[in-house]
A and B are shown apart, each in its own frame.
Chain A
C-alpha cells in the first residue's frame, strides 16, 4: 500500500481562540482540521473544559510540512506571549495525499 508523508500539527490552546485560529488557517493554506474540547494542566495552571470560559481545545491539522511550518511560525509570533498555547509536530503517513 502506497503511503505519503505529511505533518501532524497538534495545538492545545484556549477555547476563546478557536474562531480566530480557524480564520488564520484559511489564510495559511490549511485544508482541514479537527477540534476537540480538552482539559489539562500546564504553565498557566489547570484548565478545565466544563466551563467554556476557561476551557481548552485541541486542534489537529494534517498538512504539508511547509504549511505546518507556516502555521507554527504564525502562532508563535502572534499568540505565544499572551495565551495558554502549546504546539507540537509529528510525521504521519496518509493514504490520500490530495486530501492533505
Chain B
C-alpha cells in the first residue's frame, strides 16, 4: 500500500492481533510511558517553534478555536437525540466526546504532515489544549442543565489538571523557555524517536480498538454511522474555520483533523464522575472503534485535500 505510513500499519497490526486474540499485550505502564512521551514531545515541539518565531499568539484565533470547542457538541447532541433516539445522558456524553479532541489523532496528523514536508502553525499544540476542555463542559451542561447537581470544583480540577493538559502545557512551557538550543540535548529522544514512539502507541491503540469492536454489534448501526459522519462534519467546520482564520493549508488540515477527532481519555473520565448514568461503553466504542481508525486511515488524507481545496 504505497502512501500508507508505517505507523498506521502498526495500528492495523494491533487491530489484527487483537481480533485474532494473539498473545500480545502491552503492560499498562508502557502505555502510560508512551503516551507521556508523545504528549511531552508534542508540547516541546510547539514550544521550541514558538520560541523561534516571535509572532506570538493571535487572540482572535484562539477565541475562534475555543468557540469551535463550545459549538461542536451542539449538532452532535441534536443528531444523537433525534436520529439516534439516545437518552439525554448518552447523547450529551457522545456530544462531549466528539466536541473534545484526541491527542493520538493529532500526533498522527503532524506525523503525516512532517512526512510530506508540509508546514503548519507552530502554535498548533495550543489549539489541542484549547479544544480539549470546552466541549466536555458543554456536554455536562447538556446532560445536567444549568442548575444541575455537579461537583464543579472537583471536575475543574480533573479537567484542567488532567494528564494531557499538564504534559502539553508543561512541554510547551519548557520548549518555549529553553528554545531550540536549550533543548538540543533532549531533541534526539523526544523528536528523533517521535515516529517510533508513535508506532508503539498506535500498536497499543489497535489492541484497544480491537477489544471494543465486538461491542459495536450491541450498539447498532447508528453508532457506526455517527462515528464516521460526525468527524466528516467536524472536519468541514474545522477546515472552514481554519480558512476564515487565515491558517496555512497545513494548519487548516490540523484544525480540521482536531475538529474531526473524538476524545477517549479526558471526556470518558469526566463523564464517569460527573454524569455516571451515561453509558461509558457507548461513547468510548464510537470514539475508539470507529472514529479513531477512520480518522487516521481514511480521514486525514481527505482533510488535507479539503484544506488544499479551500486554499484555492
Contacts and interface: CB of A to CB of B under 8 A. Distances in A.
A51 interface: yes
A51 B204 CA distance: 9
B28 A51 contact: yes
A51 B276 contact: no
B208 A16 contact: no
A1 B95 CA distance: 61
A52 B272 contact: no
B277 A55 contact: no
A82 interface: yes
Contact of A82 (B26, B32, B276): B276
Nearest to B278: A82
A79 B281 CA distance: 17
Which 8 residue pairs of A and B lie closest in terms of their CB atoms, listed nearest first? A82-B276, A50-B28, A16-B272, A82-B277, A51-B208, A16-B269, A50-B25, A52-B28
Contacts of B277: 81-82
Interface string A57-100: 00000000000000000000001011100000000000000000
Q: Which of B27, B208, B276, B284 has the most CB of A within 10 A?
A: B276
B36 to A, nearest CB: 12
Contact of B26 (A45, A49, A50, A81): A50
Given A50-B25, A51-B208, A53-B265, A14 B272 contact: yes
A50 B32 CA distance: 10
Contacts, number: 33
Interface of B: 25-28, 31-32, 208, 211, 264-265, 268-269, 272-273, 276-277, 281, 284
A20 interface: yes
Given A81-B277, A82-B277, A51 B31 contact: yes
Contacts of B265: 53
A50 to B, nearest CB: 4
Interface residues of A, number: 17
A48 interface: yes
Interface string A1-36: 000000000000010100010000000000000000
A16 B273 contact: yes
A49 B28 contact: yes
Interface of A: 14, 16, 20, 37, 45, 48-55, 79, 81-83
B96 to A, nearest CB: 15
A46 to B, nearest CB: 8
A50 B31 contact: yes
B276 A53 contact: no
16 contacts: A14-B272, A16-B269, A37-B28, A45-B281, A48-B211, A50-B26, A50-B31, A51-B28, A53-B264, A53-B265, A53-B268, A53-B284, A54-B284, A81-B277, A82-B276, A83-B276
Contacts of A83: 276
A79 B272 CA distance: 11
Contacts of B273: 16, 20
Given A48-B211, A81-B277, 19 more contacts: A14-B272, A16-B269, A45-B281, A49-B28, A50-B25, A50-B26, A51-B28, A51-B208, A52-B31, A52-B32, A53-B264, A53-B265, A53-B268, A53-B269, A54-B284, A55-B28, A81-B276, A82-B276, A83-B276
Nearest to A16: B272
B142 to A, nearest CB: 18
A2 B26 CA distance: 47
